[in-house]
Amino acid sequence: MSAKDAKPASESTTEGAGAEDAMIHSRRQKAERVRGRGENPFANDVNTDNRIRVADLCAQAKGALVGSESEHRYDIEKVQALFGDRVFVVVGRLIARRGFGKVVFLRVRDGSGEVQFFVKQDVLGEAFAVLEDLDIADFVQGTGTVIATQKGELSLLVSGIRLLTKAIRPLPDKWHGLTDVDLRYRRRYIDIVANPEVAAVFQARSAIVQGLRTHLDEQGFLEVETPTLHSIVGGAAAKPFSTHHNALDLNLFLRIAPELYLKRLLVAGFERVYELGRCYRNEGISTRHNPEFTMLEFYCAYATYTTLMSMTELLLRAVDEHLAKRMQSLNLQAVYEQWVTERAFTFAEPFARVPMKVAIESALARAGVPVEAANRLKEIAAPEVGSEQDPGAAIVGPWAKSSERSRAIDWGNFRKGLRNCDSEGERSFVAYEYLAEPFLAADYRSADGTKSIPVFIIDYPSETSPLARRKDGDATLVDRFELFVEGRELCNAFSELNDPDDQAERFQEQVRKKARGAEETMDYDADYVRALEHGMPPAAGFGLGVDRLTMMLTGQPSIRDVIAFPLLRPEAQG
């Protein structure tokens, strides 16, 4: 098309809307014709006595397969021997149609798979006219016997067909390739219909959640539920959403974590508890962050963070194995195998365990920067805004040019982050975030070097972990780990602080930070301190982002790809 032939976007959009309106009008007319025959185009009287799901149909026909299972070709005589003249009912959405005249092939999908309807006029007789009122996306019911066509395709030879639900609005043009990302998230109900690989991700998510529960139940954990409306901010350092309870005239917060309530249950005497539930944090949105997300937290009495590292490896392998079995049962084994092939990481080898201090020093050495840099963090911090003096720039300058790795470090934001730190522990944490964390996937590899291995970063500064237990041999550190898989944070865990006086002082420090303007801080929880005063056994606690785990196991680039209905700005009107 030449430039002069091109139409303005607004005109093209108007034409598209006009075409869709015409199709909607046509479908409404067909619905009226159905009503005119005394039938309901939105029926609710499905005969399910002989209904068979497509997956079960395929499972029963497995013995008639010819060649490999992926070819989906069936032997005519074997199918006849397996099914005989038994009559089945199949219901689902019409997703494709081909053929003209006296023979029509319909592709129908239910919640378990797809099958072909073989519709012949000489079999249906006058009822063949029903096809004139069927459109792609309608829900239909077919009754008939199971056969294999001359091309070996498993089919339902239809002896009766009816419309169950008329789809008034057509699926998008070229709906099988719906690619507009914003529309996919907004209209997930169409995205799942249009893109089978999207449906597979949400089936996988369900299996992952089931796998988490199954493994923890088998390990003797008790699943519990704790409040999602909190009167104070606690359980993690994050900015909360606020709400108001009218009857009690009480300002409340949506929970950012269930931690403090779960540990109250340790005080109560339950030794192993877990919760799978929604949490809410009033923070930015990114490919790894969503304001509402699903969290798994579990707490184990008489355990340490070292115990939990071993438990974490077992948990992740068990969930992946559960996912593999579930996908196979859904006839999605090929999809799962593709995900595994494309993974840049492996669970097959022991996970690395690296103290944060060692991770920083190792990262500096790999970048060609003197290890002494780790002791000069306060010195190289960026000056206050508006300052004319910047002595740290002369120090950092040579470091930033020392190697290709060093040039990949974001020195500018690193120095700005250091400027906002109040302690050596906070500065060490910022150093880790900029110097080591971005390179974990490259630095920790499998034995053959082809994939990254998960990395436990352990022994965090006490200033950045207000709920974790201090190390017995070094009070500046806590018994804590975070697990990173292919450079992405997945889990956070630590030996729990059960000294009520120490906990009270940590809460007080959080309150002092809030008074200085810090937003992501906790409140003082007097009731939780009271609970600790009654005695909490030695314990360790663990938190895992279920959305991130699903992203990881299914190879999805964004957290929105694994949340059925992610939060979006209101859709523009007009």
Query: What is the b/e burial string over 50-77, where b = at least 16 CB atoms within 10 angstroms of the residue's CB?
Result: eebbbbebbebbeebbeeeeeeebbbee
What's the rounded Cα separation, in Å, for the pair 159 and 325?
36
Crossing angle of helices 411-419 and 391-400, rounded to 10°: 140
Judge whether residue 537 has pLDDT over 90.
Answer: yes
Cross-strand bridge partners of residue 244: 251
Question: CA 472, 474, 476, 480 torsion: positive or negative?
Answer: negative
pLDDT for residue 172:
77
| pLDDT of 417 above 80 | yes
Q: How far apart are CA 455 and CA 485, in angstroms?
A: 7
Between CA 196 and CA 211 the distance in angstroms is: 22
Contacts of 328 (CB under 8 A, 6+ apart): 336
- When pLDDT is cut at 50, 70 and 90, the band that residue 359 belongs to is very high
Domains of the chain listed by start with CATH number: 22-170 (2.40.50.140), 178-344+543-574 (3.30.930.10)
Q: What is the DSSP string of 337-357?
A: HHHHHH-SB-SSSPPEEEEHH
- Mean pLDDT score, 224-229: 96
Structure tokens belonging to residue 244: 């108001």
State yes or no: pLDDT of 7 exceeds 50.
Answer: no
pLDDT in tens, 122-167: 999 999 999 999 999 999 999 999 999 999 999 999 999 999 999 9
- Centre a 10 Å sphere on the Cβ of residue 448 and count the other Cβ atoms it contains: 8
208, 324, 322: which is closest to 276 by C-alpha?
Answer: 208
CB 384 within 8 A of CB 486: no
The pLDDT of residue 431 is: 96
| DSSP code, position 278 | E
Predicted pLDDT of residue 285: 83
Pairing between β-strand 272-280 and β-strand 222-223 as defined by DSSP bridges: parallel
Residue-wise pLDDT tens digits, 35-87: 999 999 999 988 788 899 999 999 999 999 997 767 789 999 999 999 999 99
Q: Both tokens of residue 100?
A: 């003209």
Which residue is it, tokens 């209904």?
51
Q: CA–CA separation, 232 vs 421, rounded Å?
A: 25
The answer to whether residue 498 scores a pLDDT higher than 70 is yes
Whole-number pLDDT of residue 17: 66
Q: What is the DSSP letter of 435?
A: I
What is the rounded CA–CA span in Å between residue 316 and residue 318?
5
| pLDDT of residue 9 exceeding 50 | no
* Position 542 confidence tier, pLDDT thresholds 50, 70, 90: very high
Buried b (16+ CB within 10 A) or exposed e, 482-491: bbbbbbbebb
Helices (H), 251-407: 259-268, 305-329, 333-342, 356-367, 377-380, 391-400, 404-407
Strand partners, 495: 540
Give the mean model confidence (pLDDT) for residues 453-462.
Answer: 97
Q: Which contacts (CB < 8 Å, 24+ apart) does range 360-366 have?
A: 360/428, 360/431, 360/432, 360/435, 360/436, 362/436, 362/443, 363/435, 363/436, 363/439, 363/443, 364/435, 366/405, 366/439, 366/443
323-352 mean pLDDT? 95
* Average pLDDT estimate for 391-404: 92
CB-based contact 396:356 (threshold 8 Å): no
Residue position matching structure tokens 């355990």: 303
223: left (phi over 0), alpha (psi -120 to 50) or beta: beta
Question: What is the rounded CA–CA span in Å between residue 12 and residue 181?
Answer: 20
Contact 273, 300 (CB under 8 A): no
The 3-state secondary structure of 50-67, one letter per residue: CECCHHHHHHHCHHHEEC
Residue 2: is its pLDDT beyond 70? no
- What residue type is 551 in one-letter code? M
Q: Residues 214, 200: contact at Cβ < 8 Å? A: no
Query: 522 vs 253, 259, 518, 533, CA distance in Å?
Result: 12, 12, 10, 20
Among the residue ranges 8-12, 197-201, 553-557, the one predicted with the least confidence is: 8-12
Q: Are the C-beta atoms of 454 and 347 separated by less than 8 Å?
A: yes
Residue 267 pLDDT grade (very low, low, confident, very high; cuts 50, 70, 90): very high
Helix axis angle, 526-533 relative to 259-268, nearest 10°? 30
The mean pLDDT value for 530-551 works out to 97
Using CA atoms, how far apart are residues 137 and 166, in angstroms rounded to an integer? 8
d(CA 115, CA 96): 11
- For the whole model, what pTM was predicted? 0.89
* Mean pLDDT for the stretch of residues 407-421: 94
In terms of Cα–Cα distance, which of 226, 443, 252 is closest to 352? Answer: 443
